[in-house]
């Protein structure tokens, strides 16, 4: 199981939860920008995503 923290397009933080099957199929691939798909939950005014798929997007000038 893995956890992540990110920023949305409006600058708000969110947490992600990656269960073992998902992290095996869609592993983190280093620093960068990711498309994340999953179920959004809100608890105590804070959003989190249970990830079902993710993909690192190509960026210019980042490795």
Q: Give me the residue spans of the domains in the chain.
A: 2-56
pTM of the model: 0.81
Tens of pLDDT along 1-59? 999 998 888 988 889 999 999 999 999 998 888 999 999 999 888 889 999 999 999 98
Strand 46-56 and strand 13-18: pairing?
parallel
**pLDDT given for residue 35 in this prediction:** 93
**pLDDT given for residue 41 in this prediction:** 92
CA distances from 22 to 6, 9, 32, 50, 60 (A): 18, 24, 19, 10, 27
């Amino acid at each position: 199981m893995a956890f992540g923290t990110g920023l949305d397009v409006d600058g708000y933080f969110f947490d992600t939860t990656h269960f073992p099957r998902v992290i095996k199929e869609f592993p983190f691939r280093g620093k960068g920008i990711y498309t994340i798909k999953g179920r959004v939950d809100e608890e105590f005014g804070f959003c989190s995503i249970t990830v079902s798929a993710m993909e690192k997007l190509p960026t210019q000038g980042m490795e």
